[in-house]
């Protein structure tokens, strides 16, 4: 806890005491939240001949990749949500809900060209301690294509200690919504640059999953998962993050407990707040959201609503995750200024609003400079219209909680 609080921190803490409220001085916080340029690109295929130039143009429009990664160690959080043996129909995992390996490799390749010293690709697969190479092989990927995309590319499963000797504590500025700090794998401290490479998707619990929600998975299941140790972290992860979703118990006692154990045990209240906490505690330096091929209806095959594979043929990138996610929402046909009760946040709180209110970034498109193709041209697939048409069936109980 800081010894001296800024005016923003005092405002935040005062508002945080209001039961059920999260509108923490909205006009002040929105006005002070930083804005950053976001680039939107059209890309129809994952072929390197089209993908790499499209991504290179985006990074150039953001001021150049070298200014972000040259001479630095990069941690790149990808999205491998759900077990690799569960698919949407006969579609490949990467064509619906996994970050596509070609995008991972292209990002690593361009970072290598821009002078990155080391690139560590990280993910915390659902309740698994398997090496990421094994998860990729189960998904019918060739890990060597990613490892060979640049010099000094490596993988680490951050679901447990991995190659580290101890967990690292990341304090949440302004005190946090759900936890005051989070204990994470060493990779999230060892890097100079943290990159989120996400898939453009809706989410059954959080409304949408974009660059910020992708980082919900940086929490190790040994501490925040079902089967985590009571006093100390378990040696290996055992299951998903139901503990965080529903709050039926606290994390391992070695990690900070919840700020308010009497807060709602509702995952649609809790998950957005944890995501906003993490976006503040471990800032995202570069957000990349790929929607060349993706899906509507949810974040993975375990969702019981009507899931449809779609081809938006779009890539979005920015140096501020809130602004990047706001552009993504607009491309999907949603209003990034939407709050609880309005699609896609019919039953949950807006992660974008929560993160904006703690000063991470603005979601107001009027304050965000957009480069590349305009939103009206990028909106090939109208997720909002599809969401309105389909039935609002609830998700099947027992699906992955990650």
The predicted-structure confidence for 236-259, as pLDDT tens digits, reads as follows 998 899 999 999 999 999 999 999
Q: What is the DSSP string of 308-356?
A: EEE---EEEEESSHHHHHHHHHHHHT--TT--TTSTT-SSS--HHHHHH
Statement: residue 16 has pLDDT above 70: no
Statement: residue 110 has pLDDT above 90: yes
Asked whether residue 31 is assigned to any structural domain, the reply reads no
The β-bridge relationship of strands 73-77 and 118-123 is parallel
Asked whether residue 236 is assigned to any structural domain, the reply reads yes
Packed helices 101-113 and 48-61: angle between N→C axes, nearest 10 degrees: 50
DSSP H/E element including 371? strand 370-372
- Model pLDDT, residue 298: 94
Percent of the chain with pLDDT over 70: 89
Residue 61, C-beta contacts closer than 8 angstroms, at least 6 positions apart: 37, 39, 371, 372
Angle at 273 (CA atoms; ends 270, 278), nearest 5 degrees? 125
Asked whether residue 138 is assigned to any structural domain, the reply reads yes
Tokens 């041209």 correspond to what residue? 377
Lowest mean pLDDT among 14-23, 75-84, 357-366: 14-23
The mean per-residue pLDDT over the stretch 155-161 comes to: 96
Tokens 């490596």 correspond to what residue? 154
Quote the domain boundaries for residue 309. Answer: 36-389
Q: Where are the beta strands (DSSP E) in 102-176?
A: 118-123, 153-157, 168-171
Tokens 């938006």 correspond to what residue? 312
Number of domains the chain is built from: 1
SS3 263: coil
* Identity of the highest mean pLDDT range in 20-29, 51-60, 125-134: 51-60
Asked whether residue 321 is assigned to any structural domain, the reply reads yes
d(CA 354, CA 351): 5
Asked whether residue 356 is assigned to any structural domain, the reply reads yes
SS3 38: strand
| Closest of 369, 359, 388, 197 to residue 281, by C-alpha | 359
**For residue 283, what pLDDT band results from cuts at 50, 70 and 90?**
very high
Asked whether residue 2 is assigned to any structural domain, the reply reads no
Asked whether residue 156 is assigned to any structural domain, the reply reads yes
Helical spans, DSSP H, in 114-257: 132-138, 143-147, 187-190, 221-224, 242-246
Asked whether residue 382 is assigned to any structural domain, the reply reads yes
The token pair at 355 is: 């993160």
**For residue 141, what pLDDT band results from cuts at 50, 70 and 90?**
very high
Statement: residue 19 has pLDDT above 60: no
Measured between its terminal Cα atoms, the distance across the chain in Å is 28
The token pair at 71 is: 């001479």
Pick 322 or 399 by higher pLDDT. Answer: 322
Q: How confident is the model over 211-229, as pLDDT tens digits?
A: 999 999 999 999 999 999 9
The mean per-residue pLDDT over the stretch 308-336 comes to: 98
| Closest of 402, 312, 325 to residue 365, by C-alpha | 325
Tokens 């501020």 correspond to what residue? 320
| Closest of 337, 292, 106, 62 to residue 199, by C-alpha | 292
């Amino acid at each position: 806890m800081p010894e001296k609080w800024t005016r923003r921190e005092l405002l935040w803490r005062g508002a945080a005491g209001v039961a059920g409220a999260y509108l923490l001085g909205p006009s002040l916080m929105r006005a002070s939240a930083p804005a950053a340029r976001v680039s939107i690109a059209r890309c129809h295929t994952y072929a390197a001949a089209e993908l790499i130039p499209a991504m290179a143009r985006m990074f150039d429009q953001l001021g150049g990749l070298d200014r972000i990664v040259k001479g630095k160690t990069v941690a790149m959080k990808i999205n491998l949500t759900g077990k690799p043996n569960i698919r949407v129909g006969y579609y490949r995992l990467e064509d619906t809900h996994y970050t596509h390996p070609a995008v991972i490799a292209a990002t690593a390749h361009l970072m290598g060209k821009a002078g990155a010293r080391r690139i560590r690709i990280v993910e915390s697969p659902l309740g698994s301690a398997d090496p990421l190479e094994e998860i990729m092989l189960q998904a019918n990927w060739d890990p060597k294509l990613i490892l060979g995309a640049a010099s000094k590319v490596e993988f680490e499963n951050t679901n447990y200690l991995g190659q580290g000797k101890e967990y690292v504590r990341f304090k949440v500025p302004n005190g946090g919504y759900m936890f005051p700090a989070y204990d994470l794998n060493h990779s999230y401290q060892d890097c100079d640059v943290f990159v989120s490479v996400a898939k453009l998707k809706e989410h059954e619990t959080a409304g949408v999953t974009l660059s910020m929600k992708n980082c919900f998975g940086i929490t190790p299941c040994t501490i925040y998962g079902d089967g985590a140790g009571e006093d100390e972290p378990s040696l290996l992860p055992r299951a998903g993050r139901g503990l965080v979703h529903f709050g039926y118990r606290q994390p391992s006692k070695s990690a900070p407990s919840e700020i308010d154990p009497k807060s709602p045990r509702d995952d649609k209240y809790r998950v957005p707040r944890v995501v906003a906490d993490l976006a503040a505690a471990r800032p995202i330096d570069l957000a990349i959201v790929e929607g060349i091929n993706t899906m509507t209806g949810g974040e993975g095959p375990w969702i019981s609503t009507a899931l449809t594979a779609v081809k938006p043929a779009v890539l979005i990138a920015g140096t501020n995750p809130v602004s990047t996610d706001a552009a993504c929402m607009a491309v999907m046909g949603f209003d990034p200024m939407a709050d609880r009760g309005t699609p896609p946040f019919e039953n949950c709180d807006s992660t974008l609003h929560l993160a904006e209110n703690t000063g991470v970034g603005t979601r107001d498109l009027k304050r965000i400079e957009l480069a590349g193709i305009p939103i009206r041209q990028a909106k090939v697939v109208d997720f909002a219209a599809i969401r309105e048409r389909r039935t609002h069936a609830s998700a099947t109980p027992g699906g992955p909680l990650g």
